């Protein structure tokens, strides 16, 4: 099983462009989330979802949209990219899967650069 799969691994955008970071999990987890990781700032929660059709904002939601039409997928959309969105993005899912209840399983990350 793949666990949590993120694509793309690397992306360069110009200011104002839009794009979608994909996230898929095969563990039937109800909970999915997106974090961004910046030097010296740890992990900050962008958006999360506790099940299909349900999403909520995290700590830093501005400039990002999400949707959860299926249990497996949780894409993150950048509507109009800005240099401040240059970061490494991690998708994580959680539930009573292989790792046990309440444990997050992370994808390998997507490194985004906005010029």
Partner 1 sequence: GDSVTQMEGPVTLSEEAFLTINCTYTATGYPSLFWYVQYPGEGLQLLLKATKADDKGSNKGFEATYRKETTSFHLEKGSVQVSDSAVYFCALLNTNAGKSTFGDGTTLTVKP
Q: Binding to partner 1 by residue 97, rule CB under 8 A?
A: no
Q: Binding to partner 1 by residue 22, rule CB under 8 A?
A: no
CA separation, residue 56 to residues 13, 49, 66, 75, 83 (Å)? 26, 6, 9, 13, 24
Site for partner 1 in 45-84 (CB under 8 A): 45, 48, 50, 58
Q: Binding to partner 1 by residue 92, rule CB under 8 A?
A: yes
Please state, in angstroms and rounded to a whole number, the distance separating the CA atoms of residues 43 and 59.
10
Please state, in angstroms and rounded to a whole number, the distance separating the CA atoms of residues 77 and 67.
9
The residues that touch partner 1, with contacts defined as CB under 8 A, are 4, 31, 33, 35, 40-43, 45, 48, 50, 58, 90, 92, 94, 99-100, 102-109
């Amino acid at each position: 099983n793949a666990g949590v799969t993120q694509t793309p691994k690397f992306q360069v955008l110009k200011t104002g462009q839009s794009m979608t970071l994909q996230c898929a999990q095969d563990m039937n987890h109800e909970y999915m989330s997106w974090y961004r990781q910046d030097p010296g700032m740890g992990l900050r929660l962008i958006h999360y979802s506790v099940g299909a059709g349900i999403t909520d904002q995290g700590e830093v939601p501005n400039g990002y949209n999400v949707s959860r039409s299926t249990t497996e997928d949780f894409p993150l959309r950048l509507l109009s990219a800005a240099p401040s969105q240059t970061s490494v993005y991690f998708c994580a899912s959680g539930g009573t899967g292989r790792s046990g209840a309440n444990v997050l399983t992370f994808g390998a990350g997507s490194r985004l650069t906005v010029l």
